[in-house]
Structure 1
Amino acid sequence: MRSVFVLLCMTSIMLFAALAIGDHPVAVTQIFSALTDGAAADAQAAQIIRDVRLPRVVLGFLVGASLAVAGMIAQSVLRNPLAEPGLIGVNAGAALAAVIVIVRFEVPPTHLLSLLAFAGAFMMSLLIYGLSWNSGSSSLRIILIGVGLSSLAWAGANFISAFGDPQAVQRAMVWLSGSIYNSTWEKSRTLAVWLATGMVGCGLIAREMDMLALGDETARARGQPVELIRAVMFSLCAVLSGAAVAAAGLVAFVGLIAPHIARLLVGYSHGLLLPVTALIGGLLVVAADLAARTLFTPAQLPVGLMTAILGAPFFAYLMWRKKNA
């Protein structure tokens, strides 16, 4: 458990670094004063911490945790180390819904954009699972149909963009790149509810997920309702991924990277994987956002672009290792 303790320490350090570092550096003592309403808190520092950085850090952590757990579920239900919601098509439904809303409305209401992005991801997951059903589902059918529907959804988004207002299309592209710049406590509260729901759901079926990882035949021989568990897992994946995408747009590769790091630390038991994967996902997004807003100042890159820069080489490494295994 030493690795878990180190991970907790790293997460705490990164959270404080994200609060302290920026265009206006804030001392650690001022951070504590701002968070505890201390009398020594400087007014400007308190405003920066409470109104700007803290909502951004909290939302980034929740987004990373949600995407990481969704990726863990996707890899478990498909028994594929390269699976994650973005790669199997779940996020494409959210992207299509978001593009429609942003292009249709000059200034789309935040709650409407979030709601329809979530609905798009969830509907896409239901469509993928429904079309893959043939007296049961299989990992290969889910992946193939997910890839096909993802391509269709992206084609629809590009078609809408081609005939949309250029300014609206530009706003859609910014959203699709993934950003937690416009963070609010309302977004964090909503995402926290969905993350808690997904974590509790995964915790309740953690042993079933362990059994399913042994293979369908083995799980059935032990009396597990395989299709029911797979459907529940797929639904949890869609809920977590859809909620994260609705809050921050498309943040790539977190759901791919975090579960692999977690398995290196605690093994393959989903009961242990669940909290560790969530911690690693939150840490990755907070660190990526800190890098995105400080490395190229005064410009601030979208956090989704930074995670893609970090994740693409990792994905290539996984492909290479799978090929040479």
Structure 2
Amino acid sequence: MIRLLVALMLLLALLVAASLAFGDVSLTWRDLYHATTGTGDPDPQTTMIVFDLRLPRVLLALFVGVALATAGTITLAIMRNPLAEPGVLGINSGAAAAAMAVIVLVQEPPIALLQAAGFFGAAAMALAVYTLAWRGGTSSLRIILIGIGLSSLATAGTTFLSAFGDIGDVQRAMVWLAGSVYDANMDKVRLLAFWLIIPVTLAFLSAGELDLIRFGDHSAKSLGQPVDLVRGVMIVLVTVLSGAAVAVSGLIGFIGLVAPHIARRLVGASHARIFPVAALVGACLVVAADLIGRIILPPTQLPAGIVTGLVGAPFFAYLLWGRRHGDG
């Protein structure tokens, strides 16, 4: 386990270094070293590129990956469905619709307002899903089905806003909806990092409860777990994590699905092991997606959400095929 964590941290460090070095203006490793350490009389332009343009972007991608992977790990556990992720619950769509409304209806919205809108949109969707799914208790199947229905409703609202909004605002919003960290700055990084401290910590501390609930509601209740309460608290954590991530980066899909599955394959079913590995894998995936999007078709920059979609869609199909083969 320790060796795996060290290997993932080294991979993440390598991806961060590559993201700082490569782009429209590529830097040599020597230039990057001098700029980051302040030695050797670094070039002011190089320092500006590293610290003002690329460092905020790579840090934001890292934190978004951690948030989405952690939220996906929780969702897989409480839904007990290998195809479940926050998007299935409609939480991402709710956050996206609220943030879209702010982008289209408010001129140059402040960062805090955009993040707040993302959170409250996700919270409203989660509350609606949980309320409609309640019938003498919660059921993971009812939650998933209602989440899919409300997600479609939120998507329709997003489309409505795009149809009647100002063309400039709509174009900016559509780029945001594709999932990108291109407009990152240190204010966004600090806000997101501060926002994630408590929910990520609580998620890691809930590993034992998630280990118990994944065996099924009846088994968990027989062992004294208040299943409905635990599931409700976990949905709140998913809401906070997903809402914050979507508010700053748009819809970067499949990270909440791919990262937990990779972590489970690497370390087994214990959530105490899955959480740190999934967080590192999620960070690596988003940082790598943003890097690939910047360098694959220069000077065009592909949003990270498009890159993760190209990877995640085949992975989702693989999971579907595996379930069909297993059921057969």
TM range (shorter): over 0.9
Q: CA deviation at 1:39?
A: 4.4
The match for 2:196 is 195
In structure 2, C-alpha distance between the alignment counterparts of 1:105 and 1:167, rounded to whole Å: 12
In structure 1, C-alpha distance between the alignment counterparts of 2:252 and 2:97, rounded to whole Å: 15
In structure 1, C-alpha distance between the alignment counterparts of 2:126 and 2:91, rounded to whole Å: 5
In structure 1, C-alpha distance between the alignment counterparts of 2:41 and 2:257, rounded to whole Å: 43
| TM-score when normalising by structure 2 | 0.95
**RMSD after superposition:** 1.4
Query: What per-residue deviation string (whole Å, max 9, x for no partner) do you get for residues 42-98 of structure 1?
Result: 222111111111110000000011001111111111011111111221011112112
In structure 1, C-alpha distance between the alignment counterparts of 2:167 and 2:201, rounded to whole Å: 43
In structure 2, C-alpha distance between the alignment counterparts of 1:293 and 1:314, rounded to whole Å: 23
Q: Contact 2:114–2:248 (CA<8 Å) still a contact in 1?
A: no
Structure 1 residue ranges (4+ consecutive) displaced by more than 4 angstroms after TM superposition: none
The match for 1:300 is 301
- What residue identity is the alignment partner of 2:223? R
1:136-285 → structure 2 map (5 Å cutoff): 136-285=137-286
The match for 1:89 is 90
Matched, 1:56 2:52: no
Secondary structure of 2:138's counterpart equals coil
Select between 99-108 and 69-78 the one with higher mean Cα deviation: 99-108
Stretches of structure 2 lacking an aligned partner (at least 5 in a row) = none
In structure 1, C-alpha distance between the alignment counterparts of 2:122 and 2:232, rounded to whole Å: 15
Q: Contact 1:70–1:241 (CA<8 Å) still a contact in 2?
A: yes
Secondary structure of 2:86's counterpart equals coil
Stretches of structure 1 lacking an aligned partner (at least 5 in a row) = none
Q: CA deviation at 1:150?
A: 0.5
Q: CA deviation at 1:167?
A: 2.2
Secondary structure of 1:203's counterpart equals helix
Identity %: 51
Q: Contact 1:30–1:40 (CA<8 Å) still a contact in 2?
A: no
In structure 1, C-alpha distance between the alignment counterparts of 2:74 and 2:249, rounded to whole Å: 20
- What residue identity is the alignment partner of 1:51? D
Q: Contact 2:98–2:121 (CA<8 Å) still a contact in 1?
A: yes
- What residue identity is the alignment partner of 1:23? D
Matched, 1:291 2:292: yes
Q: CA deviation at 1:294?
A: 0.4
Secondary structure of 2:87's counterpart equals coil
Matched, 1:69 2:70: yes
The match for 1:40 is 41
Q: Contact 2:68–2:245 (CA<8 Å) still a contact in 1?
A: yes
In structure 1, C-alpha distance between the alignment counterparts of 2:240 and 2:7, rounded to whole Å: 30
Q: Contact 2:115–2:243 (CA<8 Å) still a contact in 1?
A: no
Query: What per-residue deviation string (whole Å, max 9, x for no partner) do you get for residues 260-290 of structure 1?
Result: 0111111111111111111000000000000
In structure 2, C-alpha distance between the alignment counterparts of 1:259 and 1:13, rounded to whole Å: 22
Query: What per-residue deviation string (whole Å, max 9, x for no partner) do you get for residues 71-127 of structure 1?
Result: 111111101111111122101111211222222134333332222122101211111
In structure 2, C-alpha distance between the alignment counterparts of 1:199 and 1:114, rounded to whole Å: 17
Secondary structure of 2:88's counterpart equals coil
In structure 2, C-alpha distance between the alignment counterparts of 1:287 and 1:50, rounded to whole Å: 19
Secondary structure of 1:224's counterpart equals coil
Select between 292-301 and 26-35 the one with higher mean Cα deviation: 26-35
- What residue identity is the alignment partner of 2:133? S
Select between 193-202 and 176-185 the one with higher mean Cα deviation: 193-202
Aligned residues: 325
Q: CA deviation at 1:225?
A: 1.3
Q: Contact 2:99–2:114 (CA<8 Å) still a contact in 1?
A: yes
Q: Contact 1:90–1:238 (CA<8 Å) still a contact in 2?
A: yes
In structure 1, C-alpha distance between the alignment counterparts of 2:49 and 2:100, rounded to whole Å: 32
